[in-house]
């Protein structure tokens, strides 16, 4: 297609949603119809999921990123990307998408035991059929029948595969056989269960749960009016049994708490008519998840369980980063849980073998470049300028984006193109710092340690203004919602929907640190397989054992263990984000202090051997990438050693994580919204069908944005968009 | 489709701008017609894309309306019978402690459970009735049934069950004195009454099963036929009057079999 006839698309931002939109619009099927340019702040793509390579080529992430086994859209696109990339496995260590991930079947939770000590436990989630991103040709996973047939597997796993550290596996009881699924059999089962006392035994309880699974699967054949009272009766009987058992046995307590919560979900789904509600699970989004479960009979003990806290932790669901204000919209929380537990394929968790930038954004960058997509790095969006009413065909004509105004942060030498990737052991990677050699005045910038990604550093070397029709036709606005107020003043001033969105769709700052250790995990005292663990103590409630990444780094001595920790970071108690240049530095130092205190005071609950004789962390365990191998003598080690590790305070508006607060989701705007006839939005903060911050939501949103501009992909191909 | 009208760049106006295509929809479909389907193929069209067959009910994949009603009410009756059985057990347990002086452990729980279960059942039947009368398929079915000889609502005419009350004949074949109390809720729609077995509170007492409603060939009035077996123990027997075709509850029938006069 002639360049002049192409439709020019300006994609703002290089995160998951933006890159997805660019990938969709540049598909060969479009035959070059769209002339796409991605405008990116700083030197790398990735947004909140950007990563870099630091000293010893160590991977430095914004935070902990784990892909879940239900990320169907994300995996599908990434698999297509790798297939199109066609890397040579003899020269590139991550040539195929399967090289990029390892599976993790263990989910871990930390909880206070009845004796007041921390107890950690893990549950094994068995591999599920297929792989994420496989064509869904055999069964619709989003039917309730599928969910609850998987529910039985979950409950059986929890009942029989949960084990506490140092403890034996629970009784070697086999789950009851799946009963005949005919209505007659279900009826007979209900009859038996209504006999008082039949669910008071373990066998009876198992039978009840198995029958519930069948009941839900055959739900359409049974009136809801029969189902609801039955579920409530069974649930009450189950709970009476649970409350009698959970006095002293920590292991049984964990199991029963989860069962109690699942039962509450069943009861609530029936009571609130979710099974037939036209809004699906969105019907309960004004409730907080815990509040809703409490209404449906969940015990306080269960609501404060590790499992429950873990769900909030994984969603970073703490308003303003305040641990005392957990908040998660019930419908979305339930949708996320159902998807997480019941629709995963292959494994529940998929951990990347290198940085997310390396595994995801570098391949996409290379493929998009081949397709002719242009990238303009070092472009900070300053303003989205709307058309004035005078400039429109009539005053009733829809408004549109007239201009995009950027600060240019740096210029490339020789007016050339910035080449952002560098090779690490055969793998194209993003560096943690820009390649100053390519930049005009790069040496001076390097000495000044210019932070191109900082919201507070407004250094620029020029300005650029793109005009509609001349420079762009369509805009994909793919920056974080927390940055919208700074760049969309025109829109917010005239549009109450946008004002509501930026008011109610809130974000949270996060903190993260990574450490590299000489000792392996068993030496540190963690004996179970690599795990992703949540519900641990603040401020770093989530930990992932990332030992699988070690081989991709370039240490002179191979690290024994690698650990990533993350959690929310409380906002200042009053007012908006401070404007002081010192603010990000102060928060960075705060995170350093938090990490040191955490290692000194808390981590021994996970790694019992990481505590020294003085009761504090053994700092000599940490590896320093800038020094020769070798441990510090015990007498010379102290917490200053931590400065050699990596930590972040994600306080930039573009780095903040979007929340799914109760009552807030209705204020999200869809990428399909056409108020502005040449603008669409993209990001996990949009109304994208899965309204919770994650890679999958961002990818869905990016696909929706592409659909908004091109009607492709069809909405039916956006997996899980039409979902209860 | 997205379109562009080309003119010399220097003379472009707002009208020339490329505009987003118009979309078929702007949000997800979350209702049950979408996700209750249990498709064999992801790529198959959702039910929303398929024209519904007239009168196919709310969810075409659910099965016929009759199946739903039949299975649901059948289940409901099993539940009722279960409750009755439990009630008999409760009665036994209540009577026993008084004889022995010490209540049996768990009796209070059972009593409370029974109260709850009966409350639940009231909801079940209320909801079932609501579900039934809101369904257009039911009404169309009812209309066709009425033409096939089921009693019609004819206000004030003896021999009908309708909103103004009902007129019945009762024919009892009993070796002992028997009292019959028939309490039928007014109904604006026609139906054929039917009674399942009548149960006594005592668990070991056999139910009354020989009960039937028939139309009198002479007067066309409904007649309740009740036969009390010779060895039927004295006592109170109760049961539910339902619509024969739909099993919707319509009222209660209580029969008191008195001891033989000496």
Chain-chain contact of B35 with A135 (C-beta, under 8 angstroms): no
How much of chain B exceeds pLDDT 70, in percent?
37
Question: What's the CA gap between A214 and A55, in Å, rounded?
Answer: 55
Distance from CA of B239 to the nearest CA of A (A): 19
pLDDT per residue over B219-241, tens digit each?
677 788 888 888 888 888 888 78
Question: What's the CA gap between B73 and B68, in Å, rounded?
Answer: 8
Q: Which of B223, B233, B239, B229 is nearest to B258 (CA)?
A: B233
DSSP-derived secondary structure letter, A61: E
pLDDT band at A535 (very low <50, low <70, confident <90, very high): confident
Closest to A221 (Cβ–Cβ): which among B2, B45, B68? B68
Q: Is the C-alpha dihedral spanning A76, A81, A86, A88 positive or negative?
A: negative
- Residue entry with tokens 């028997």: B178
DSSP-derived secondary structure letter, A557: S
- Residue entry with tokens 């502005």: A676
Question: What's the CA gap between A475 and A386, in Å, rounded?
Answer: 12
Distance from CA of A488 to the nearest CA of B (A): 20
Identify the pLDDT of residue A254: 73
The token pair that represents A558 in the structure block: 């191979």
Angstrom CA distances, A627 to A46, A56, A556, A631, A641, stand at 30, 10, 10, 10, 11
The pLDDT of B196-214, averaged and rounded, is 82
Q: Where are the domains of chain B?
A: 65-257
The pLDDT of A187-209, averaged and rounded, is 54
Separation of CA B141 from chain center: 15
Give contacts of B129 with chain A, Cβ < 8 Å: none
The pLDDT of A139-147, averaged and rounded, is 60
Give contacts of A230 with chain B, Cβ < 8 Å: 79
Chain-chain contact of A282 with B30 (C-beta, under 8 angstroms): yes
Q: Which residue of B has its CA nearest to A146?
A: B38
Q: Which of A652, A661, A709 is nearest to A685 (CA)?
A: A661
pLDDT band at B82 (very low <50, low <70, confident <90, very high): very low
Identify the pLDDT of residue A363: 98
Do you know the residue count of chain B? 262
What residues form DSSP beta bridges with A288? A329
Question: What's the CA gap between A64 and B46, in Å, rounded?
Answer: 37
Sheet arrangement for strand B249-257: B178-184, B249-257, B235-243, B193-195
Identify the pLDDT of residue A344: 87
DSSP-derived secondary structure letter, A689: S
Give contacts of B67 with chain A, Cβ < 8 Å: 221
Chain-chain contact of B27 with A138 (C-beta, under 8 angstroms): no
Distance from CA of A140 to the nearest CA of B (A): 6
Distance from CA of A13 to the nearest CA of B (A): 20
Chain-chain contact of B29 with A722 (C-beta, under 8 angstroms): yes
Identify the pLDDT of residue A480: 96
Strand intervals (E) in B90-210:
161-162, 165-166, 169-173, 178-184, 193-195
Question: What's the CA gap between A361 and A548, in Å, rounded?
Answer: 19
pLDDT per residue over B130-156, tens digit each?
444 444 444 444 444 333 333 322 222
Identify the pLDDT of residue B134: 46
pLDDT per residue over A396-412, tens digit each?
778 999 999 999 999 99
A3-71+354-503+668-717 in CATH: which number?
3.50.50.60
- Among A107-116, A319-328, A338-347, top mean pLDDT goes to A319-328
User: Is ipTM strictly over 0.90?
Assistant: no
Chain-chain contact of A140 with B42 (C-beta, under 8 angstroms): yes
pLDDT per residue over B91-109, tens digit each?
454 444 434 444 344 445 4
Chain-chain contact of A229 with B13 (C-beta, under 8 angstroms): no
Identify the pLDDT of residue B40: 33
Angstrom CA distances, A433 to A363, A386, A442, A450, stand at 19, 34, 12, 10
Identify the pLDDT of residue A393: 65
Is the predicted pLDDT of residue B58 greater than 50, yes or no?
no
Question: What's the CA gap between B248 and A378, in Å, rounded?
Answer: 72
The token pair that represents B8 in the structure block: 């010399």
Chain-chain contact of B32 with A716 (C-beta, under 8 angstroms): no
Among A54-63, A165-174, A190-199, A589-598, whose mean pLDDT is lowest? A165-174
Is the predicted pLDDT of residue A260 greater than 70, yes or no?
yes
- Residue entry with tokens 């390892």: A102
- Among A289-303, B94-108, B181-195, top mean pLDDT goes to A289-303
Closest to B9 (Cβ–Cβ): which among A219, A275, A470? A470
Is the predicted pLDDT of residue A261 greater than 80, yes or no?
yes
How much of chain A exceeds pLDDT 70, in percent?
81
Is the predicted pLDDT of residue A586 greater than 50, yes or no?
yes
Identify the pLDDT of residue A483: 97
More confident residue, A717 or A225: A717
pLDDT per residue over A464-519, tens digit each?
999 999 999 999 999 999 999 999 999 999 999 999 999 999 999 999 999 999 99
Question: What's the CA gap between B248 and B77, in Å, rounded?
Answer: 11
Among A226-230, A564-568, A665-669, whose mean pLDDT is lowest? A226-230
Question: What's the CA gap between A28 and A682, in Å, rounded?
Answer: 22
Burial of A298 (0-12, 13-18, 19+ CB in 10 A): buried
Q: Which of A440, A265, A427, A435 is nearest to A341 (CA)?
A: A265
The token pair that represents A700 in the structure block: 């869905």
Identify the pLDDT of residue A571: 92
Chain-chain contact of A7 with B74 (C-beta, under 8 angstroms): no
- Residue entry with tokens 């696909």: A703
Q: Where are the domains of chain A?
A: 3-71+354-503+668-717, 143-297
């Amino acid at each position: 297609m002639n360049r002049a006839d192409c439709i020019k698309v300006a994609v703002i931002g290089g995160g998951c949603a933006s890159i997805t939109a660019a990938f969709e619009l540049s598909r060969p099927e479009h035959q070059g119809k769209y002339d796409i340019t991605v405008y990116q702040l700083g030197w790398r793509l990735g947004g909140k999921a950007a990563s870099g390579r630091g000293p010893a080529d160590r991977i430095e992430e914004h935070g902990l990123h784990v892909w879940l086994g239900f990320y169907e859209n994300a995996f599908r696109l990434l698999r297509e990307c790798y297939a199109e990339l066609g890397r040579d496995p003899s020269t590139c260590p991550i040539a195929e998408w399967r090289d990029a991930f390892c599976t993790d079947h263990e989910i871990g939770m930390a909880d206070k035991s009845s004796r007041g000590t921390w107890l950690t436990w893990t549950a094994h989630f068995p591999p599920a059929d297929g792989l994420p991103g496989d064509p869904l040709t055999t069964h619709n996973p989003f039917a309730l029948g599928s969910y609850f047939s998987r529910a039985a597997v979950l409950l059986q796993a929890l009942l029989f595969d949960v084990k506490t550290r140092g403890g034996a596996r629970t009784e070697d009881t086999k789950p009851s056989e799946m009963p005949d699924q005919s209505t007659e059999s279900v009826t007979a089962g209900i009859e038996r269960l209504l006999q008082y006392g039949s669910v008071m035994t373990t066998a009876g309880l198992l039978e009840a749960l198995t029958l519930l699974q069948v009941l839900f699967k055959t739900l359409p054949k049974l009136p809801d009016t029969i189902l609801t009272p039955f579920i409530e009766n069974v649930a009450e009987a189950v709970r009476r049994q649970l409350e009698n058992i959970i006095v002293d046995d920590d292991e049984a307590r964990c199991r029963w708490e989860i069962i109690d919560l699942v039962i509450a979900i069943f009861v609530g789904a029936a009571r609130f008519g979710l099974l037939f509600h036209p809004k699906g699970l969105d019907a309960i989004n004004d409730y907080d998840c815990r509040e809703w479960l409490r209404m449906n009979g969940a015990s306080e003990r269960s609501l404060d369980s590790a499992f429950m806290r873990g769900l909030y932790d994984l969603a970073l669901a703490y308003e303003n980063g305040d641990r005392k204000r957990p908040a998660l919209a019930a419908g979305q929380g339930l949708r996320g849980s159902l998807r997480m537990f019941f629709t995963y394929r292959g494994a529940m968790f998929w951990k990347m073998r290198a940085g997310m930038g390396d595994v995801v954004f570098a391949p996409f960058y290379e493929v998009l470049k081949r397709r002719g997509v242009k990238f303009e790095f070092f472009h900070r969006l300053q303003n989205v300028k709307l058309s004035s009413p005078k400039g429109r065909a009539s005053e009733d004509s829809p408004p549109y984006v007239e201009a995009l105004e950027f600060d240019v942060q740096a210029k490339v030498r020789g007016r050339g193109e910035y080449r952002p990737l560098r090779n690490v052991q055969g793998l194209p990677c993003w560096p943690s710092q820009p390649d100053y050699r390519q930049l005009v005045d790069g040496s001076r910038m390097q000495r000044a340690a210019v932070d191109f990604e900082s919201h507070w550093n407004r250094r620029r070397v020029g300005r650029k203004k793109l005009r509609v029709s001349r420079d762009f036709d369509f805009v994909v606005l793919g920056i974080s919602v927390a940055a919208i107020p700074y760049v969309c003043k025109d829109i917010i001033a005239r549009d109450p929907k946008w004002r509501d969105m930026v008011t109610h769709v809130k974000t949270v700052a996060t903190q993260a640190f990574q450490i590299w250790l000489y000792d392996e995990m068993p030496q540190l005292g963690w004996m179970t397989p690599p795990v992703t663990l949540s519900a641990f103590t603040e401020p770093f409630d989530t930990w992932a054992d990332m030992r699988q990444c070690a081989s991709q780094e370039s240490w002179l001595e191979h690290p024994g263990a690698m650990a990533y920790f993350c959690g929310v970071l409380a906002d200042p108690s009053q007012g908006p984000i401070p404007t002081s240049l010192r603010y990000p530095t102060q928060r960075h130092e705060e995170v350093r202090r938090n990490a040191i205190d955490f290692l000194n005071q808390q981590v021994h609950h996970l790694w019992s051997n990481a505590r020294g004789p003085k009761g504090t962390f053994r700092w000599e365990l940490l590896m320093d990438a800038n020094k020769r191998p070798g441990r510090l003598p015990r007498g010379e080690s102290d917490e200053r050693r931590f400065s050699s590790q990596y930590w972040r305070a994600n306080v930039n508006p573009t780095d903040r994580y979007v929340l799914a607060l109760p009552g807030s989701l209705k204020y999200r705007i869809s990428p399909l919204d056409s108020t502005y006839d040449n603008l669409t939005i993209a990001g996990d903060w949009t109304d994208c069908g899965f309204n919770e911050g994650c890679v999958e939501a961002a990818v869905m949103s990016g696909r929706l944005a592409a659909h908004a501009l091109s009607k492709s992909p069809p909405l039916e191909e956006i997996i899980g968009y039409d979902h209860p | 489709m997205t379109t562009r009208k080309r003119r010399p760049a220097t003379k472009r106006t707002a009208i020339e701008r490329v505009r987003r295509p118009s979309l078929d929809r702007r949000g997800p479909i979350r209702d049950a017609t979408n996700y209750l389907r249990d498709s064999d193929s992801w790529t198959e069209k959702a039910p929303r894309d398929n024209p519904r067959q007239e009168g196919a009910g709310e969810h075409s994949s659910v099965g016929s309306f009759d199946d739903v009603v039949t299975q649901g009410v059948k289940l409901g009756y099993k539940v009722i019978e279960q409750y009755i059985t439990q009630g008999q057990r409760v009665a036994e347990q209540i009577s026993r402690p008084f004889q022995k002086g010490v209540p049996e452990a768990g009796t209070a729980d059972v009593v409370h459970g029974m109260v709850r279960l009966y409350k639940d059942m009231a909801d079940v039947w209320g909801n079932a009735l609501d579900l039934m009368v809101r369904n257009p398929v039911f009404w169309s079915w009812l209309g066709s049934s009425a033409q096939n000889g089921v009693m019609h609502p004819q206000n004030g005419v003896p021999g009908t069950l309708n909103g103004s009350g009902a007129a019945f004949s009762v024919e009892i074949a009993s070796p002992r004195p028997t009292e019959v109390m028939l309490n039928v809720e007014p109904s604006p729609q026609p139906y054929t009454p039917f009674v399942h077995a009548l149960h006594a509170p005592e668990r070991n007492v056999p139910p009354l099963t020989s009960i039937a409603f028939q139309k009198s060939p002479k007067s066309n009035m409904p007649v309740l036929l009740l036969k009390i077996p010779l060895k039927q123990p004295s006592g109170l027997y109760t049961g539910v009057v339902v619509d024969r075709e739909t099993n919707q509850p319509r009222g209660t029938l209580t029969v008191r079999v008195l001891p033989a006069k000496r």
